Chain A
């Protein structure tokens, strides 16, 4: 989960997954021309296709049920998150490379509180769910956002974004104030956390060393190859950071889901206090993207009290197993622990309020 792993893995994966067909690239001349690499990449891709095509011959029943389900769930999390991560990285590249330096910073209010409040609404224009927000937030920090501002964006954007609002509205309408609680709650938490961290004396120390080092780089390096090249370089860097984190997060989420019976949570659903806590645990474990979680939680609406649903919808987008793995690429473990605590307490409070009002 730390820097050495992140940059090492991309080399491992195809090798182990696809046999040894590409080993000749190893130890080639350091300044080999471009074409061979592309050819090698193509070959690797081709090899993967061949393996993939050949594998159904193995037939089903290779693994015991539980292990098979673990694999299925893990892959499901990856396949579901992958497009959003890609979208986030593409937007991050646009922000970092293709937009002028002052695009975001110039028109934002200078007053910190107001500034963070406006930043919370950036998600309206950058509709990415939370997994895509991590690369985007990294990009914004590199573009001059402070650490606390990046957190505000990171926490608010998955909830205050058009896709999430539409899907939540489709799923719940205006019933029981769930939609309102979700939007207000997301906004409040994001600004609360942003405010807390803005008071931190040394914000740089919140970031992982590898990311802080990246921030310290002058932004106008590598202009030699032009913007396309810079974009590609950025894509490689972000992907090699995000992918292992995503894989590990997905594996943990899949593992917990195979191991913990869901009925344990569901039986707690009708108690005003327990329903909130149970739904938060469920949100933490299930690691869905904010754009789709409303549909998931809809079937629970009859079992659980509305406060539980609201807590699920506020807590889930911000903190879950997969997100922690992704956030770990950027923030220190201590920060993540504090973040989890603050967000959990606030969402629990919101859930309880909804329960007592409804």
Chain B
């Protein structure tokens, strides 16, 4: 049954800590509890209902559920049949994907499609005033989200003077300049569906020769006026060190 497919997959994701690839951590407990109830019920179905219902296996051709009143007219048109078949294919395909494919984060394809830094409110978590009050240690722990927010709020170089960013994210090419890319993370409010990409622009001549889109990198460096003439970002990170890293176990920010 599909319940078992979803149930096993979800519980496995939860057990391996990968459920957060799909939903916000605050829903994990609720999800696991409900799925567990669902699993018990669906095993209950198997335990309590005798096979006369013909419900779970081998119902390939004959419409099952003989004791339930069925639609009397069989699907009159072929269009209906096609729609049903297409639906079945989609359903089975997704069920297979759910079990077989390795779980993954969203990729730069979606980041590009959703426009890095296009939603603004999530970028206001760290304000310039907060940042001014912070000491040098605080900057060390600033994430892509914090820096992207600061860059959104001010392009005053004096503010960024002497501050070193050290951020981890994946590479998203900037659409407007070949020498600029974004170190990006997805920000998730509920689940991967609503993930919003945020990113810090990095100016690095010919970065394509070292990096590819989607690769996870750790970049550290200071902020300078963006040398690019075509880029819309006035200030960019100029890397002092740039290192390829593995994908973190919690790839999204919240």
Binding site for B on A (CB under 8 A): 1-5, 7-18, 22-23, 25-35, 37-38, 40-42, 44-45, 48-49, 51-53, 55-56, 58-60, 62-63, 65-66, 68-69, 71-80, 82-84, 86-87, 90, 209-210, 213-214, 216-217, 225, 228-229, 232-233, 235-236, 239-240, 243-244, 247-248, 250-251, 253-254, 257-258, 261-263, 266, 286-289, 292-293, 295-296, 298-303
Contact = CB atoms under 8 A, between A and B. Distances in A.
Contact of B118 (A37, A213, A262): A262
Contacts of B121: 298-302
A287 B90 CA distance: 18
B109 A262 contact: no
A214 B218 CA distance: 59
Given A25-B57, A65-B107, A261-B113, A79 B70 contact: no
Given A5-B87, A25-B58, A235-B45, A60 B104 contact: yes
A9 B2 contact: yes
Given A2-B80, A37-B51, A45-B8, A71 B97 contact: yes
A222 B42 CA distance: 19
- Size category, B interface: 35 or more
A29 B92 contact: no
Contacts of B45: 232-233, 235-236
Contacts of A59: 102
Interface in B205-228: 214
A66 B45 CA distance: 38
A22 to B, nearest CB: 6
B43 A38 contact: yes
Given A82-B6, A83-B30, A239-B1, A49 B22 contact: no
B118 A56 contact: no
B57 A40 contact: yes
A34 B87 contact: no
Contacts of A2: 75, 80, 83-84
B119 interface: yes
Contacts of A288: 190-191, 193-194
B128 interface: no
B122 interface: yes
B61 to A, nearest CB: 9
B37 interface: yes
A298 B107 CA distance: 23
Given A65-B107, A263-B118, A5 B84 contact: yes
Given A235-B42, A250-B94, A55 B22 contact: no
B91 A72 contact: no
A73 B64 contact: no
B129 interface: no
Q: Main SS of the interface on chain A?
A: helix
Contacts, number: 344
A20 B99 CA distance: 15
A38 B46 CA distance: 5
Determine the main DSSP class of B at the interface with A.
Answer: helix
A63 B1 CA distance: 26
Interface string B5-44: 1111110110000010111000100110111011101111
Contacts of A13: 1-2, 5, 91-92, 95
B50 interface: yes
A293 B190 CA distance: 8
A79 B83 contact: no
B199 to A, nearest CB: 14
B69 A25 contact: no
Given A17-B96, A65-B107, A78-B94, A31 B71 contact: no
Contacts of B22: 72, 75-76, 79-80
A11 B43 contact: no
A257 B3 contact: no
B230 interface: no
Nearest to B108: A65
A239 B2 CA distance: 8
Contacts of B98: 17, 75, 78
Nearest to A8: B59
Contacts of B10: 79, 82
Contacts of A76: 22-23, 191-193
A86 B95 CA distance: 17
Contacts of A257: 193
Q: Of A26, A83, A239, A303, which is in contact with the most chain B CB atoms at under 10 Å from its CB?
A: A83
B56 A37 contact: yes
Contacts of B102: 55-56, 58-60, 62
A38 B104 CA distance: 33
A37 B114 contact: no
Contacts of A210: 70-71
B169 to A, nearest CB: 16
B115 to A, nearest CB: 4
A62 B10 CA distance: 21
Interface string B54-76: 11111110011100111100010
Contact of A79 (B23, B84, B122): B23
Nearest to B33: A83
Contacts of A5: 84, 87-88, 91
Interface string B183-196: 00001011111101
Given A258-B110, A266-B119, A34 B50 contact: yes
Contacts of A49: 8, 12
Contact of A86 (B34, B54, B68): B34
